[in-house]
Each structure stands twice: as structure tokens, then as C-alpha cells.
Amino acid sequence: MEKIIKVEIISRDIVKPSSPTPTHLKNYNLCLLDQFYPEFHCGIILFYSSPQTNYHQNDNQNYCRTLKNSLADTLTDFYPIAGRFKDTSSIDCNDQGACVVQAKINSSLSNFLGGLSQPSCSNSVQKNLKMFIPSLDSVTMESASSSILIAQLTEFECGGIAICFSLMHRFCDLASVVVFLRSPEKRR
């Protein structure tokens, strides 16, 4: 009998920018084209194997803390992401923050990714990947309180992790997401 893979939510937090947004940047106006995009989140999922052979559960607690700290610093530069939409044409850059979900999954990374390549489970690939996208979880969306960014760090049994960044498409396109994801790397 095949094991049912489940994701368990451990926590949901709001991460605020490490520095406040200056007063003169508190209002961000969207370009005309962006105003016509529907309001929905689009996500990108990144999978990482455990960097250590001697995995301890505390390691992923450290990864999550590092992710939150890095996100807080990054939100300072990408200040509209920490705000909320006022209307269809502008964002109130009020430093309310981004939602970060911490979760765990009852599978190893290799088993999960290996299962995705099996022809017999092609119908369930989409369903399995949806487990990592926080904007598809109604409880998370309710607690995210209109966050432009919702991130989820999911810990595998082996110590591997999946990180999903789900951003409001009205605010950013793929090129913007790439710049955002590379930003912490450039801070070092």
C-alpha cells in the first residue's frame, strides 16, 4: 500500500521589513497595464537537499530563522511587497509584512521527487506540488491578511527543504521574481 503524503503546517508568521519604509515612499502606484491583471498569487517552488549528512531537526529551525531574517532585510529594498493594496492602482507601503509558513512533510525529498517522475502518478503531480504553495491553503490566505508575498518553507524527513515564494501577480512578473530571489545573495 502506497504511503499518503501529507504536509503539516507548523506555524504562520508575518515578517516585517528590518527597516521602516521612508515616508516619501509610502505610496506605490502601479502602471496602467498592471492595474488590469487579476488578483492572484503565482508561485515558484525551489527544492534543496540537506547540505549535511548528519541532519538534526534544529538545522531546519536555523534555516527558517535565516530565511525570515533575510526576508526582513530584502523587504526593506522591495518595500511595496511588505505593503497592502489600497485599490487596483496603488499599494500602501505600510510595512505590514509578508506571510511566512513553516511546514513539514512525511516524505524524504528523494522519494517525493522520484515519485513525480513515475508515469502512474502523472495525474497526482499537480496535486502533490500544490502542497507546497501556501496561497492555495484557505487558512493561510485568511491569516496572511492580503499579503503580496506568501512564502512557505517545507521540511522533508531527510532534512531537505522546499521553499515556495508566492507573489501577487498584479505586482510582479517573472523577471521581478528573479531579481527578488537573487537579492539576498547580493547582500553578502
How high is the pLDDT of residue 4? 80
How high is the pLDDT of residue 184? 74
DSSP strand E in the chain: where?
Answer: 7-15, 27-29, 41-48, 84-87, 90-92, 98-105, 149-155, 161-168
pLDDT tens-digit profile of 137-149? Answer: 777 777 666 888 9
Query: In terms of pTM, does the model score above 0.75?
Result: yes
Q: What's the rounded Cα separation, in Å, for the pair 34 and 29?
A: 10
- Domain annotation for the chain: domains and CATH numbers: 7-185 (3.30.559.10)
